[in-house]
Structure 1
Amino acid sequence: MPTMNGTRLVLALATTAALLSGAPAAQAAPATAAGPAPRVLHAAPDGSGSTCSPGRPCSLDGARDAARTVHGRDVRVELADGTYTLSKPQELGAADSGRGGHTVTWTAAPGADPVLSGGRALTGWSENVDGTWTAKAPDGVTPRQLFVDGVRAVRARGDSCAAPVCDATKAGMTGARATGIADWARPTDAEAVIRVRWRNYHCRITAVSGDVMTFAQPCWTNSASGTDRTGPAWDTTTVDSSRYTKVSFFENARELLDQPGEFVWDSAARTVTYLPRRGENMRRAETVSPVTENLLVLDGAHDLRVTGIGFAYAAYLQPSTDEGYAGMQAGLTLTGATGPTDHAGRYYTKPAAALTVRGGRQVVVDHVAFTRLGGAGVVFEQGTQDSTLTRSRFTDLSSGAVYIGDTEPMPAAELAGARNTVSYNTIRRTGVEYTDAVGIWAGYEAETVIDHNTLDDLPYSGISVGWGWNQPEARTSVLRDNRVTNNRITNVMRVAYDQHDGGAVYTQGAQPGTVISGNYINRSAYGNTERDGNGIYLDEQSSHITVTRNVLTRVGYKWVSNWADYGIDNHATGNWTDTAAPALTGTGSTMTANRTGLDRLPAEALHVAATAGAGGRGPVEQLRPDLARAGTATQSSTDGTATADHATDGDTTTDTRTLAEPGAWWQVDLGDTRHVGQIEVWNNTSMTTADFDVQVATTADFSDATTLHVTGKALRPTLLDTDREARYVRIKLSGTGRVALAHVLIHP
């Protein structure tokens, strides 16, 4: 079996305490009476000895077997430096656990950076006349991801295809002729990638007949309506729903291979063809594809620690099968051709993870690096309790980083997840391929602690706790007493990925005693095209939740949202934010003592924001003074309710709106000539303000105006740098229509 040179990988995955400085010490092993020193066993990538000594290290299996023979003391299995290429998961169970108050630890040897890898090297690259390079895939390897010198390549993809052309139905889709797919050499290797609100679908084309494409089953059926298994009866986010607007792109066709860093897999020839980026030398490059799922599985293990080990190139095989990826929410998928009728998501499937803990007790995962994965990072499931994931790093994952718990609302006692902790971890650039995935997901869990984590650059929600939507199962479940505290969540709900209706912190279901506190949330759904990206989103039947002392800034829509009247007894108090939001809906819900509409964060808020996250003190984006809110706003006309001052009231949820008319305008008089450095234009709900001029002038007749033109629809926000002295700012349509705005900020 080919193996890769692990030098670059080991360097890239070095797990240094300095990266996550400021975190507390990892959970200590259970205290024991004075006794013999731990038995230390040694493993190495090329180990084969039977004594597991430094001179004759064991293989991983050999170290596992040797550890089972040790009684009456702690055990340390120390992994030497290098890459451990796995063709199957390394499994540890009850027999590999600590006994009699002792602990078994799998860890890096002093000074070593061991990496468990599910990758296989692709070698023998040859150059083609068009500048691409091709290599044969080893037997058993079906590349879905490719990493070149540690950098993720992209499956060759085309442009989006709007719904009128690529019309999706329960049976398939039109558009084969217009997109050129009808003429592709191998259309049956290609997939359609579709994003509808919070859902993401990847289904392979199985046939093209004329203009019609059909797709792999059950992927397509599970992505369409009519199965009675895809979620609540009211849901309209399937591929054939009214909310379907386009195919985001088709991918994996030779005809689409036109950008450096793209590759394509040919299943008939069993070849990968790649177009190198500038500076890449394919004769010397290390090219790796994930092949093996679930690198480490702890099944029924207890009193066991995993520390200082890297995980890389783990695969997620399901999306490349006929099951495909019928994403339902948060990275969970609907699988199987048949199944129980269910509207509460009880039978959805979690993604494959590099490290899986099933039914664990007192399991500690600490200082572990997860990178370049084809699926998720860590799963705690099937009744895992009293276990921790701390001070670990997740980056460049196709799916989400962490999944805690399951989707059964009332599990048997032995399958109920409880008292698990996820703390001081760093999560960046996850959900790269499956953009509906979240950073940290917890299902029906009790007393979960999600604390002092740093999450950044995610396509959808950051932290999600709870399940069940508005279904009866979500009203009474094991959900309770969860804590989402002191996390730093920035640049989530990224608009470029077209995933909507989420939040930096997202909840579902009644969960008495749950607290969301001390979090710093900045730029959630910032730059959004729709008014549905939230800071803290108490969705559906979220109930009995306290939201307190959070700092939320530059959020695309509401800083806190509880829109459903069947979400009850929620309380938001003592938070700081630069916008406002409607009162919480639902019986017994309250909003008190919140500091809203701020254009500067006070010292106490700055301290809360700076101390949130995994790294001690972190940067905080201070708000900028807003000149518009002290000015006088007017507009060319009004319908009587959406008045001009709604754009200067510090609230992104209220709108101005003129009548539809030629040259409609909105403007603000600052009262005196001031330096205007930048203008933010936030569009309203319907995004009706498009193709407009922003005029900046010192005179009321705008005779000395500087004019900036915006083509297309305004975002939330559209930013315009001006850098001039002015008293008046006007937003004026180029043609006929409405000016409709949620927010206009003018910064000196």
Structure 2
Amino acid sequence: MNTRQLYVNGLDVELPQLQSLLGISGSYGSPATGLGFAGIRFTGTSWLGPSGSDGYADQQSGAHITGAHAMPANGLSTCTSGCTQFEATRNHWVQMPAAVQVSAATGITFSGNTFSELGQAGLGVGNDGAATASGTGLGAGDITITGNTFTDIAGSGIQVGGIQPDAHHPGNPQMTNHDITVSNNRVSGVGTDYKETAGILSTYVTNATITHNQCDHLPYDGIDIGWGRGINAPGGSQDYVNRGTYAYQPVYSTPTTLKNNTVSHNLVFDTKKAMFDGGSIYSLSASPGSVISDNYMYGNNHTTALYLDEGSRYLTVSRNVVQDAGNWALTNANGNNHTDSGGFPTGYHQLVIGSDSLCLDVYGGGSGLGQRLDQWPCKDTAGSNQDFTPR
């Protein structure tokens, strides 16, 4: 029936154009210092980079390739296991910018704030210069992020550290990202557009503490630590020798800045709603003195809970509780990338925990791929050793 009336639902439509809301940045010799932000709602940004000529050629956790790169004419035959032309781009990958940015700064606190309706990463701390409005990256120290809410964000909720060479082997020691505390935050429903981004990402950082956070309803990982797949660790990686990476960068003889980090007492659930290859908690590269402990992970859509990916070494994983996972723990220790160098027993290329076990225990007696570990309840049972410690 034609009533000659038009019914329109009332809508509030916002089309943001602003990329960054707040930038805190000094210089390496004179960093911004002593600022606190509490009870603020950060909202209403966009990131128009993907609409430009570069598009968004994503790699992992918001890192992407920019510029034009020709595809090899015989790529289908020469790039079946790595491609030298691709490796040439690796040190030039660019991070996704954050709505709130901190670099070349010390003694900065964010507490009790809300980050929502943001078109890129929420809070970026010590990211590369290319990801900051100031152009000065890295150099973040003594930063505290506590009691905040991150929700309805296109990328990661919290993005700490850089990925380019100065992040892992800084030309100036004052560039080193250090002493970053991320505690008691809720990160829920982020990665809405860029689904390969983690709830919390921490790359090359010294003394990061990620504790008592809740990460839930995420398309990819809950918490990611590390970067670089062992490429930049002392001695490099044979896998990336084979791929031709070191034609474009040195084989380093000194450690990276990734060390002494703690991921503990976090609640991570309802992850991997869109992506697959990762973990509820995920690590990359050598991280001496680092610990992943006392976390509770469940509901990851039958994927891996604790994933120690390429180059993960010198960290301790203990007293974690995993429920409803496809793999409770996995280490990517193939014959070339040396994740297991220094003493993984044969059979620890894939760790499988029995469905009636609550905690990771040390190795059992077998040596086959996917060897089932000894099973102990998640308590200090006599004779149990609830540590998984790759050395």
Normalised TM-score (structure 2): 0.71
- Residue 330 of structure 1 corresponds to 61
Residues in 2 aligned to 1:452 and 1:384: alpha-carbon distance in whole angstroms: 22
- Residue 23 of structure 2 corresponds to 297
**Cα 1:483–1:602, aligned 2, differ >3 Å: closer, same or farther?**
closer
Deviation at 1:444, TM superposition (A): 1.0
Match of 1:410 among 169, 174, 179: 169
Larger strand fraction of residues: 1
- Per-residue CA deviation, residues 682-722 of structure 1 (Å, 9 max, x unaligned), is xxxxxxxxxxxxxxxxxxxxxxxxxxxxxxxxxxxxxxxxx
Deviation at 1:427, TM superposition (A): 0.5
Residues in 1 aligned to 2:182 and 2:89: alpha-carbon distance in whole angstroms: 25
- Residue 466 of structure 1 corresponds to 226
- Per-residue CA deviation, residues 63-114 of structure 1 (Å, 9 max, x unaligned), is xxxxxxxxxxxxxxxxxxxxxxxxxxxxxxxxxxxxxxxxxxxxxxxxxxxx
- Residue 548 of structure 1 corresponds to 318
Deviation at 1:342, TM superposition (A): 4.0
Q: Is the 8 A contact 1:290 1:373 kept in 2?
A: no
- Residue 490 of structure 1 corresponds to 269
Residues in 1 aligned to 2:90 and 2:228: alpha-carbon distance in whole angstroms: 6
Residues in 1 aligned to 2:230 and 2:378: alpha-carbon distance in whole angstroms: 38
**Cα 1:335–1:473, aligned 2, differ >3 Å: closer, same or farther?**
farther
Deviation at 1:448, TM superposition (A): 0.6
**Cα 1:348–1:570, aligned 2, differ >3 Å: closer, same or farther?**
farther
1:479 aligned onto 2:258: yes
**Cα 1:344–1:436, aligned 2, differ >3 Å: closer, same or farther?**
same
2:227 partner amino acid:
W
1:561 partner amino acid:
T
Deviation at 1:451, TM superposition (A): 0.6
**Cα 1:513–1:561, aligned 2, differ >3 Å: closer, same or farther?**
same
**Ranges in structure 2 where 5+ consecutive residues have no aligned partner:** 27-31, 71-84, 127-137, 237-254, 364-369, 382-391
Q: Is the 8 A contact 2:328 2:353 kept in 1?
A: no
Q: Is the 8 A contact 2:322 2:328 kept in 1?
A: no
1:488 partner amino acid:
L
Q: Is the 8 A contact 1:354 1:375 kept in 2?
A: yes
1:545 partner amino acid:
L
Deviation at 1:472, TM superposition (A): 4.2
- Residue 567 of structure 1 corresponds to 339
Deviation at 1:564, TM superposition (A): 3.5
Residues in 2 aligned to 1:132 and 1:320: alpha-carbon distance in whole angstroms: 34
Q: Secondary structure at the match of 2:174?
A: helix
Deviation at 1:346, TM superposition (A): 3.0
**Matched residues, number:** 307
1:538 partner amino acid:
L
2:333 partner amino acid:
W
Deviation at 1:336, TM superposition (A): 2.2
Normalised TM-score (structure 1): 0.38
Residues in 2 aligned to 1:427 and 1:470: alpha-carbon distance in whole angstroms: 28
- Residue 445 of structure 1 corresponds to 205
- Residue 398 of structure 1 corresponds to 154
1:437 partner amino acid:
T
Residues in 1 aligned to 2:343 and 2:146: alpha-carbon distance in whole angstroms: 29
Indicate the percent of aligned positions where both proteins have the same amino acid. 28
Q: How does 1:66-145 map to 2 (within 5 A)?
A: none
Residues in 2 aligned to 1:388 and 1:419: alpha-carbon distance in whole angstroms: 9
Q: Is the 8 A contact 1:550 1:576 kept in 2?
A: no
Residues in 2 aligned to 1:443 and 1:418: alpha-carbon distance in whole angstroms: 11
Q: Is the 8 A contact 2:362 2:374 kept in 1?
A: no
Match of 2:124 among 348, 372, 379: 379
Residues in 2 aligned to 1:361 and 1:316: alpha-carbon distance in whole angstroms: 27
1:523 partner amino acid:
G
- Residue 387 of structure 2 corresponds to none
Residues in 2 aligned to 1:423 and 1:343: alpha-carbon distance in whole angstroms: 37
Q: Secondary structure at the match of 1:414?
A: helix
Q: How does 1:5-84 map to 2 (within 5 A)?
A: none
Deviation at 1:313, TM superposition (A): 1.2
Residues in 2 aligned to 1:577 and 1:297: alpha-carbon distance in whole angstroms: 48
Deviation at 1:132, TM superposition (A): 10
2:145 partner amino acid:
L
Q: Is the 8 A contact 1:314 1:354 kept in 2?
A: yes
- Residue 426 of structure 1 corresponds to 186
2:60 partner amino acid:
Q
Match of 1:346 among 91, 102, 114: 91
**Ranges in structure 1 where 5+ consecutive residues have no aligned partner:** 1-128, 134-280, 527-532, 585-590, 606-748
Deviation at 1:460, TM superposition (A): 0.8
Q: Which has the larger radius of gyration?
A: 1
1:485 partner amino acid:
S
**Cα 1:327–1:394, aligned 2, differ >3 Å: closer, same or farther?**
same
1:394 partner amino acid:
F
Q: Is the 8 A contact 1:534 1:558 kept in 2?
A: yes
Structure with greater contact order relative to length (CA < 8 Å, sep ≥ 6): 2
Q: Secondary structure at the match of 1:435?
A: coil
Residues in 1 aligned to 2:109 and 2:343: alpha-carbon distance in whole angstroms: 33
Deviation at 1:414, TM superposition (A): 1.6
Deviation at 1:570, TM superposition (A): 8.2
Deviation at 1:554, TM superposition (A): 0.7
1:521 aligned onto 2:300: no
Q: Is the 8 A contact 1:545 1:570 kept in 2?
A: no
- Residue 578 of structure 1 corresponds to 355
- Residue 82 of structure 2 corresponds to none
Deviation at 1:376, TM superposition (A): 1.0
Deviation at 1:550, TM superposition (A): 0.4
2:294 partner amino acid:
G
1:410 partner amino acid:
H
Q: Is the 8 A contact 1:544 1:570 kept in 2?
A: no
Residues in 2 aligned to 1:595 and 1:309: alpha-carbon distance in whole angstroms: 49
Q: Is the 8 A contact 1:394 1:428 kept in 2?
A: yes
Residues in 2 aligned to 1:359 and 1:577: alpha-carbon distance in whole angstroms: 47
- Residue 194 of structure 1 corresponds to none
- Residue 369 of structure 1 corresponds to 114
Deviation at 1:334, TM superposition (A): 1.1
2:15 partner amino acid:
S
**Cα 1:537–1:321, aligned 2, differ >3 Å: closer, same or farther?**
same
Residues in 2 aligned to 1:132 and 1:546: alpha-carbon distance in whole angstroms: 62
Deviation at 1:462, TM superposition (A): 1.1
Q: Is the 8 A contact 1:392 1:424 kept in 2?
A: yes
Deviation at 1:374, TM superposition (A): 1.1
Q: Is the 8 A contact 1:519 1:551 kept in 2?
A: yes
- Per-residue CA deviation, residues 406-436 of structure 1 (Å, 9 max, x unaligned), is 1132113121101111111000011111111
- Residue 284 of structure 2 corresponds to 508
Deviation at 1:562, TM superposition (A): 4.2
Deviation at 1:292, TM superposition (A): 0.6
Deviation at 1:341, TM superposition (A): 7.0
1:438 partner amino acid:
A
Q: Secondary structure at the match of 1:346?
A: helix
Residues in 1 aligned to 2:227 and 2:208: alpha-carbon distance in whole angstroms: 14
Q: Is the 8 A contact 2:361 2:373 kept in 1?
A: no
Residues in 2 aligned to 1:546 and 1:507: alpha-carbon distance in whole angstroms: 11
Residues in 1 aligned to 2:154 and 2:356: alpha-carbon distance in whole angstroms: 33
2:98 partner amino acid:
A
Q: How does 1:278-289 map to 2 (within 5 A)?
A: 281-282=9-10, 285-289=11-15
Q: How does 1:188-227 map to 2 (within 5 A)?
A: none
Residues in 2 aligned to 1:384 and 1:557: alpha-carbon distance in whole angstroms: 35
- Per-residue CA deviation, residues 550-605 of structure 1 (Å, 9 max, x unaligned), is 00111122434343351145899xx9873689988xxxxxx9x9764x8xx76789
Residues in 1 aligned to 2:283 and 2:197: alpha-carbon distance in whole angstroms: 15
2:269 partner amino acid:
T
Q: Is the 8 A contact 1:294 1:353 kept in 2?
A: yes
Residues in 2 aligned to 1:537 and 1:422: alpha-carbon distance in whole angstroms: 21
Q: Is the 8 A contact 1:378 1:403 kept in 2?
A: yes
